[in-house]
Amino acid sequence: MAPNSDHPTDQFSFAVLTTDVQAFQPELAESLRLLAQSRQWLIAPPALFDPESEGDEILADKTIGDASEKSYPLGGYLDVYSALQGTTLPYEVDQRHFEEVSALIHLLERFSIKHGLEIEFYLGPELIGNIVWGLQDESLREGLLEEWNSTLKVRKEQEAGVLTPDH
């Protein structure tokens, strides 16, 4: 089901906008651990960024809120096969990634509600939306999730022969 081993991947990542990482990190780590155990992941389960790692360039230099100096935000990532390189992923792969990303976003919605936090989402280096107090912004809700789900429905209908590619 998975693309070739040399198929490029992207990081779907998130940053919890807080200057008090220590207060929230243990709970978020446990929530991600439980989510990881809840399903089989196409590539690997989501994980928290390691604040000591130099490779986490998306979040490493992010200034959070009104902090006067650079601080490492609480954040993590989910590796997904890239659909941005001009190649279409197999339907099953695309569907699984949609389910994985949706599950991660749902977990972070609950975390945002519980703690009154804003969470930003990125695909690669590009900011694609956020959640504030548990509410997805239009970009995340419509631009990513609803559009992705709609595309999957059309692809499924095309594969079933219900729609032609011209529809």
What is the reported pTM? 0.84
Separation between Cα atoms, residue 131 and residue 145, nearest integer Å:
13
Q: State pLDDT tens for residues 71-105.
A: 557 999 999 998 776 667 899 999 999 999 999 99
Q: In this model, does residue 62 exceed pLDDT 60? A: no
Residue range of the domain that includes 55: 10-159
Q: Would 1 be classed as within a structural domain?
A: no
Q: State pLDDT tens for residues 113-150.
A: 999 999 999 999 999 999 999 999 999 999 999 999 99
Q: Would 110 be classed as within a structural domain?
A: yes
Separation between Cα atoms, residue 24 and residue 36, nearest integer Å:
18
Separation between Cα atoms, residue 112 and residue 13, nearest integer Å:
15
Q: Would 4 be classed as within a structural domain?
A: no
For the chain, how many structural domains are there in total? 1
Q: Give residue 68's pLDDT.
A: 35
Q: In angstroms, what CA-CA distances link 98 with 71, 145, 165?
A: 31, 8, 22
Q: Which amino acid is at 76?
A: G
Q: Would 125 be classed as within a structural domain?
A: yes
Looking at per-residue confidence, does 27 or 65 come out higher?
27
